[in-house]
Amino acid sequence: MNYSQLKQNKALRINKANFLMNRKWIEEKNLIECLECLIEPYDKVCIEGNNQKQALLLSDALSKVNIEKINNLHVLQSTILFPLHMEVFEKGIANKVDFSYASIYGTRFAELAQKGDLKIQGMHTFLELYSRYFLDLTPRVCLVSAEKADFDGNLYTGANTEETPAIIEATAFKDGIVIVEVKEVIEKLPRIDIPSDWIDALVLNPKPQPIKPLFTRDPAKISNTKILMAMLAIKGIYAKYGANRVNHGVGYSTCAIELLLPTYAESLGLKGKICEYMMVNPLPTLIPAIEAGFVKRIVSPGGEVGMNEYVRSRPDVFFTGRDGALRSNRCFAQMAGLYAIDLFAGATLQIDIYGNSTTITSERMPGFGGAPNIGSNANARRHTTDAWLLAGKENQKQLNSIPNGKKIVLQIVETFQSSGAPSFVETLDALEIQKKMHLPLPPIMIYGEDVTHIITEEGIANLLLCRTIEEREQAIRSIAGATPVGLKRDKIKSDELRERRIVTYPEDIGIQRKDATQDLLAAKSMNDLIEISHGLYEPPAKFLRKTSN
Amino acid sequence: MNYSQLKQNKALRINKANFLMNRKWIEEKNLIECLECLIEPYDKVCIEGNNQKQALLLSDALSKVNIEKINNLHVLQSTILFPLHMEVFEKGIANKVDFSYASIYGTRFAELAQKGDLKIQGMHTFLELYSRYFLDLTPRVCLVSAEKADFDGNLYTGANTEETPAIIEATAFKDGIVIVEVKEVIEKLPRIDIPSDWIDALVLNPKPQPIKPLFTRDPAKISNTKILMAMLAIKGIYAKYGANRVNHGVGYSTCAIELLLPTYAESLGLKGKICEYMMVNPLPTLIPAIEAGFVKRIVSPGGEVGMNEYVRSRPDVFFTGRDGALRSNRCFAQMAGLYAIDLFAGATLQIDIYGNSTTITSERMPGFGGAPNIGSNANARRHTTDAWLLAGKENQKQLNSIPNGKKIVLQIVETFQSSGAPSFVETLDALEIQKKMHLPLPPIMIYGEDVTHIITEEGIANLLLCRTIEEREQAIRSIAGATPVGLKRDKIKSDELRERRIVTYPEDIGIQRKDATQDLLAAKSMNDLIEISHGLYEPPAKFLRKTSN
């Protein structure tokens, strides 16, 4: 039996493409033909699609290959973000996909699947998709993106290194074919992120990439309600547990917390006690907390538009390379988000009466990205911190009396969404969606078992302390305000839960609603952020325009 | 405020050491003095100590630095394996430690801690220790080991790449100091595993490393009882769930399963249905299953003595580099072990009546390594397989009716240990140990919540199907044989559980105890393994001597 088939087949493919290449380099005009030599039908093809960089030229070329030659591909792609990513499915070049986040294309995926044109193999969190690259979903070919290369093909991935190292390692060390598009070729790289040794082919794509400022929020848009919830979070949870290793999701609620750190949190004496270590992208709204010495270390899964110069001048805070630029790594950062943090705070769209929550409330199936990974208890965690031990001590849901710790998973949500829909429901729409779309499981973002606290503008529900499922239900109803779920609360039970500090209203911990105003924010506008950053932060123009309106 | 302190301080240290170095190279005679320039008191120093490679020369030099100059170090070290690793603690150069596995030195750690000479900060699984390197335990200096380097300092880590990339990335990109010992310097490396760009200093250590064959088990030593349990595992669990993505712990029970794959499992028609994808070191006992085409892909956290040539000639199965040698990666493999596998099978020393188990049964505190990570449910998993869905469907312990999958976590254990001690106990010794050693938590390897099945020579307990904690207890008692725990079983309840297939005895699934003999093993000796490997497997001499006894 031949146990070197992959290696031999790779050599054949490279040989076939050789006449189109100059050493490892492909000219753009030969790219499609070259891909037709390097890819074969039924290949697993991993297309890099991160939050903030995309192998767009390669994706485009892949969508233009001769379907007679290349077909039945199985695409592995963590984030599907642009129309041209869909072409390869629309044209039928690929008919299988494994992904993490499909943004606005979830619906179209579902349609293609229903027509039988696409098999959606699985929806993953980022980390589990990368994990499978090393077990049963190893790419035969990967199409990735880098900032710069030298002539030998060493890569500089810089601030948006993200998942590139994981994809390339899985492919290169399984005799797969690694194809990279780079924006620039230079003689000497500012630093090497990935050795040329792992790269088979490169193509130049000098066109600027359409990068979105996914993690940028304008402080001016933070409402007083969000500020109130942030105060509840800081005083009621961060302070109580001493949450010093933290991840924040994307949204105005967590931005409000960030902007209250050097003001409200500092006034409570929490500097050096909470949020010193954070696993987040370089969030502009963290600038005041960094400048105040409140936040000390940040590990980032990726970069953020406009933050490069700021990061470069704060190497004690961020991971940076020899050249001074950020080194992000989505895989390692997600690992830290699973195992090293004590508290995750995020938002959601719908929560049921048991605390199950999801951002998927229609047949659009965008996926979850990293939230389930970061917002879940790591059962295997064995190192302790005070925050984790206290949450574990409070936890009433253990199989027996053997003590354990628990990650604090906090959902911050207004009782009604801005659309007017209630955030709290008796039953998640996800259960209906599962049926309609014939999914193996309902698309739950965070299971109730993992959620420890919910904050609304009404107050805090501490689900850890609930002894029964009925108590949990009443605790959630007690902070669900005027939603139908909230109106069905049992007043007597609710009072009892408040007595037992399972339900906490602002006044119970000395927070006055009237104090929750923009005055508390360390920065009230994008311009404030720029100023506090000493002019190092350079937000995209559209944010500046909006602020001056 | 200065936000580049680490960078500036690093430059100072390198400057100070410069006169002792030739570019990046340190001569061995200057090593101690050089470390005294590159390390400062209170540094976090990460010492590479893997299963199968050690930065021994660097550890030795560290233990000989002038304690007046270098002290109060905080050591980060995943595996503490050799006497000289202890020197740095014994001499008081370091007084803090974070680790994953302390092998035989756990007791000494505990003594030093009790005397106040050492602060044991935390016991981790491998993956959480690496995670913390990126958040709150970032090494200031790392001392790592590689096979070869070129003159520029590019590294070849080869078969035992293990955790080196994770350690170096965390250190290098936080302006830390990366010091490497290499066995050999050559002009052109067979492949590059880590770019020279990330390396600050190197020293040559041509002395052969004392590598232990940790994952090698002699087939001749597999008892009929182990074979019976392996048959139960294959027919009762692997086949039932269709477990195709699997991790095996270290021990004769799982070796027995491996050696039954091409014989017993094949006779049951399970080829292509179970164990095609495995996350394991290159286990010699997997050779027959690989040769039979039963096991198709293996991702390895590290290498194994004697397996290099075999791996090199089976690149379709193993991850290998351009040069043909294994590329292991403990971090990525452990990730796959958490998120990509459907079934973990391992052994343990003590299980209580709720299924909590641990290998720590005395005041020796060796640590857990990777077992809790691989042997725990990944709450955030969102992709589905039939195996995972079926286990989830059976699972009775959910907070409410929202369906989810579940990782199969199987403990295989004889009712009595070879020492004569019962494996089943009413209460784990770990609870006593916690008290005696003033630990924040008892040292549990796998919590009952995560364990789905237990196999003994008596039969299988399926804990998923138990509706109450009392049923779980009776299920465990029912397979605990003649141990005190087993003798306390309620016969009527036990029969009822058997009726409901919660408890399964061999005869219930057509397994005859008398059939469980060595005849079923695909290899009966080390020599068989060598032969089946076509002479490619080269076991350490001591195994051959033992076999011929």
Task: List CB contacts (< 8 A) between B175 and chain A.
Answer: 315, 320
What is the rounded CA–CA span in Å between residue A415 and residue B12? 55
Provide the pairing of β-strand A155-156 with B350-352.
unpaired
Task: Name the one residue in this structure whose structure tokens are 């990279």.
Answer: A180
Report whether pLDDT(A549) > 60.
no
In B, residues 416-455, which contact A (CB 8 Å cutoff)?
A: 428, 431, 440-442, 444, 447-450
Inform me whether the C-beta atom of residue B14 falls under 8 Å from chain A C-beta atoms: no
For A205-263, the pLDDT digits (tens) are 999 888 889 999 999 999 999 999 999 999 999 999 999 999 999 899 999 999 999 99
- Report whether A368 contacts A349 (CB < 8 A): no
Domain B219-520 bears CATH identifier 3.40.1080.10: yes
Portions of chain A given CATH number 3.40.1080.10: 16-204, 219-520
For B120-178, the pLDDT digits (tens) are 877 899 999 999 999 999 999 999 999 999 999 999 999 999 999 999 999 999 999 99
What is the three-state SS of B63-121?
A: CCCCCCCCCCEEEEEEECCCHHHHHHHHCCCEEEEEEEECHHHHHHHHHHHHCCCCEEE
Q: What residue ranges in A186-244 does DSSP mark as E strands?
A: 201-204
Query: A398: pLDDT confidence band, cut at 50, 70 and 90?
Result: low
In B, residues 108-137, which contact A (CB 8 Å cutoff)?
A: 121-125, 127-132, 134-136
CB contact under 8 A, A175 and B315: yes
| CB nearest to B135's CB, from A121, A125, A340 | A340
In A, residues 350-379, which contact B (CB 8 Å cutoff)?
A: 354-356, 368, 372-373, 375-379
In B, residues 45-64, which contact A (CB 8 Å cutoff)?
A: none
Reference B159, options B276, B286, B336, B281; nearest CA is B281
Residue environment code for A406-428, b if the CB has 16+ CB neighbours within 10 A, otherwise e: bbbbbbbbbbbeeeeebbbbeeb
CATH superfamily of A16-204: Glutaconate Coenzyme A-transferase (3.40.1080.10)
Helix or strand run (H / E) with residue B130:
helix B126-133
Mutate to test the interface with B, among A332, A352, A434 (most CBs of B within 10 A): A332
| pLDDT for res B544 | 86
Which residue on chain A is closest to B432 by alpha carbon? A402
Q: How far is A47 from chain B (nearest CA, A)?
A: 19
Task: List CB contacts (< 8 A) between B277 and chain A.
Answer: 135-136
Question: Mean of the per-residue pLDDT values for chain A?
Answer: 95
Question: 3-state DSSP call for residue B367?
Answer: strand
How deeply is A446 buried, as exposed, middle or buried, from its count of CB atoms within 10 A (0-12, 13-18, 19+)?
A: buried
Helix or strand run (H / E) with residue B4:
none
In B, residues 241-280, which contact A (CB 8 Å cutoff)?
A: 244-245, 276-277, 279
Provide the pairing of β-strand A44-47 with A141-149.
parallel
| pLDDT for res A547 | 46
Report in angstroms the alpha-carbon separations of A246 from A348, A409, B104, B281, B393.
Answer: 18, 10, 35, 34, 33
Which residue on chain B is closest to A388 by alpha carbon? B440
CB contact under 8 A, A402 and B313: no
What is the rounded CA–CA span in Å between residue B345 and residue B351? 15
- Report whether A325 contacts A307 (CB < 8 A): no
CA angle A427, A428, A431 (to 5 degrees): 100
Which residue on chain A is closest to B398 by alpha carbon? A449
Q: How far is A446 from chain B (nearest CA, A)?
A: 8
| pLDDT for res A400 | 63
Task: List CB contacts (< 8 A) between A382 and chain B.
Answer: 122-125, 128, 368, 372
| CB nearest to A135's CB, from B124, B279, B442 | B279
| pLDDT for res B545 | 67
CB contact under 8 A, B332 and A131: yes
Ramachandran angles phi, psi of B525, nearest 5° = -155, 170
Task: List CB contacts (< 8 A) between A166 and chain B.
Answer: 332
| pLDDT for res B134 | 98
CA angle B493, B498, B503 (to 5 degrees): 100
| pLDDT for res B12 | 98
| pLDDT for res A545 | 67
Q: How far is B297 from chain A (nearest CA, A)?
A: 7
Inform me whether the C-beta atom of residue A170 falls under 8 Å from chain B C-beta atoms: yes
Residue ranges in chain B whose pLDDT is less than 70: 397-400, 545-549
* B21-204 CATH pick, 1.10.760.10, 3.40.50.300, 3.40.190.10, 3.40.1080.10: 3.40.1080.10
Portions of chain B given CATH number 3.40.1080.10: 21-204, 219-520
Task: List CB contacts (< 8 A) between A338 and chain B.
Answer: 131, 380
Maximum Cα–Cα distance for chain B, whole Å?
A: 80
Task: List CB contacts (< 8 A) between B320 and chain A.
Answer: 173-175
Task: List CB contacts (< 8 A) between A125 and chain B.
Answer: 339, 380-382
| pLDDT for res B548 | 44
Task: List CB contacts (< 8 A) between A175 and chain B.
Answer: 315, 320
For A499-540, the pLDDT digits (tens) are 999 999 999 999 999 999 999 999 999 999 999 999 999 999
Q: Could you give the ipTM of this predicted complex?
A: 0.96
- Report whether A75 contacts A97 (CB < 8 A): yes
Q: How many CB pairs under 8 A join A and B?
A: 295
Of residues B488 and A397, which shows the higher confidence score?
B488
